[in-house]
Amino acid sequence: MADVTFSNVQKHFGAFRAVQDLNLDIREGEFVSLLGPSGCGKTTTLRMLAGLEFPTSGEIRIGDRVVNDVAPGKRDIAMVFQSYALYPHMTVGENIAYPLKKRGVEKAERARMLKDTADMLQLTPLLRRKPRELSGGQQQRVALGRALVRDPKVFLLDEPLSNLDAKLRGHMRAELIELHRRLGRTMVYVTHDQLEAMTMSDRIAVMEGGKLQQFAPPQEVYREPSNRFVAGFIGTPGMTIIDGALSGSPGAWRFDAPGISVEARHLGPDAAEGAASMGVRPEALTIGTGDTPATLRLVEQTGHENIVVVSIGDIRMTGRTTPDKVWSPGEEVMISIDPDMPHFFADGPNGKRLNAKPSPRGNEPSHSLSNLSEVSP
């Protein structure tokens, strides 16, 4: 059963279309991330679900109930804000108990629920402090506690980790995953950080320009991005996208770009001759062997691997190698692209993916040396 449903939801601010034709079914107990660059409409979508913004048209349901006109406090949701939004004049305990107080929970019951939540989040020693006396991580916990305390149907989280330092963020990410598993509640999580979305979600809704681009599990978003935007947005280091053109006919397509000419395999029925682009993930690129000459531009050593940027003419491509390979920038190297792995997209920034579904082979990292690409003269 769908727990949260958006049907044809639109949100306009004057002439600006913040969210367009949004259709989204979120299942009960699911962890869904709304992912996209700033201004893509993800926060507006969350605020509409919270009742802090009203859709211009369309319908939003929580459970069986249409909530378009329901006040935020009556939707059985809880929200964690990016700024935490702790009430500065109340103590930690008063902050966490505030939603209970507003719902008329009895005093003794309130104290018990507060204690449970504080114990769970290890906030008990801090209950009498004011928010400004806490560290960023502790404030984050209090915000989480205020959401958890009354066990709502849906949790909304608006970039809750973006104000924490990298180490704490990793830690809180793990805690949130654990919390979701323990509570089994529906969570809707807004983020611009694809790593957060990939690691935490059951499904990711990738948004851009107010439109939903793809709604699928993380692995599918990674392996079968629905269009060029999603392909470029997901993955670190990012996919190299090369503009060029398709030629040939079904079963015998080729992709050509200045300095590169490869056989285009596994294209679906939408493929057509003309302008197109090819996306190559770092793991599809083999550096050091192959028959395409390239110039090494940059080596970033992360410790467990090297991120290597090579160029063919004006085209720059990113790949990874094991850390034992030692190269210096400017060096000439041979490279190859695994012909089973590239993605092909129709022309335009949101060009549709042209590969056949499902992919004949997953985009597992591969260092196969067979079927090497060819280079046009």
Partner 1 sequence: MIRKIAFNLFAWALVLAVAFPLFWMLVTSVKPQFELFRRPPTILPETWTFEHYIGLLKETNFLNYFWNSIILSTTTTLIVVAIATIGAYSLVRFKYRGRETLAFLVLFTYLLPSVVLILPLYLMLVQLGLSNTITSLVIAYTTFALPYALWLLRSFMAGIPEDLESAALVDGATRLGAFRDVILPQLLPGIISTALFTFILSWNEYLFALVLVNSDEARPLTTGVMNMLVSSFNIEWSLLMAASVMMSVPLIIVFAFLQSYLTRGFGAGGVKG
**In angstroms, what is the minimal distance from the CB of 318 to partner 1?**
31
**In angstroms, what is the minimal distance from the CB of 14 to partner 1?**
10
Query: With respect to partner 1, which residue has the nearer C-beta, 47 or 192?
Result: 47
CA 319 remoteness from chain centre: 21
**In angstroms, what is the minimal distance from the CB of 107 to partner 1?**
16
**In angstroms, what is the minimal distance from the CB of 136 to partner 1?**
6
Q: How far apart are CA 97 and CA 86, in angstroms?
A: 12
Site residues, partner 1 (CB under 8 A): 47, 50-52, 71-74, 77-79, 81-89, 98-99, 102-103, 130-133, 136, 139, 146, 156, 162-163
Query: With respect to partner 1, which residue has the nearer C-beta, 84 or 189?
Result: 84
Query: With respect to partner 1, which residue has the nearer C-beta, 11 or 320?
Result: 11
Query: With respect to partner 1, which residue has the nearer C-beta, 87 or 360?
Result: 87
Number of H helices, E strands in the chain: 8, 19
DSSP 267: B
> What is the signed CA dihedral for 109, 112, 116, 119, rounded to 10 degrees?
150
Q: Which residue spans within 127-268 are E strands per DSSP? A: 154-158, 186-191, 203-208, 211-216, 240-249, 252-257, 260-264
**In angstroms, what is the minimal distance from the CB of 131 to partner 1?**
5
**In angstroms, what is the minimal distance from the CB of 77 to partner 1?**
7
Query: With respect to partner 1, which residue has the nearer C-beta, 158 or 208?
Result: 158
Amino acid identity of residue 129, one-letter, is R
Query: With respect to partner 1, which residue has the nearer C-beta, 121 or 312?
Result: 121
Long-range contacts (CB closer than 8 Å, 24 or more residues apart) made by 216-224: 222/198, 222/363, 223/359, 223/362, 223/363, 224/353, 224/355, 224/357, 224/358, 224/359
Which is nearest to 230 in space by CA: 317, 353, 347? 353
Nearest-5° Cα angle at 183, 178 to 189? 70
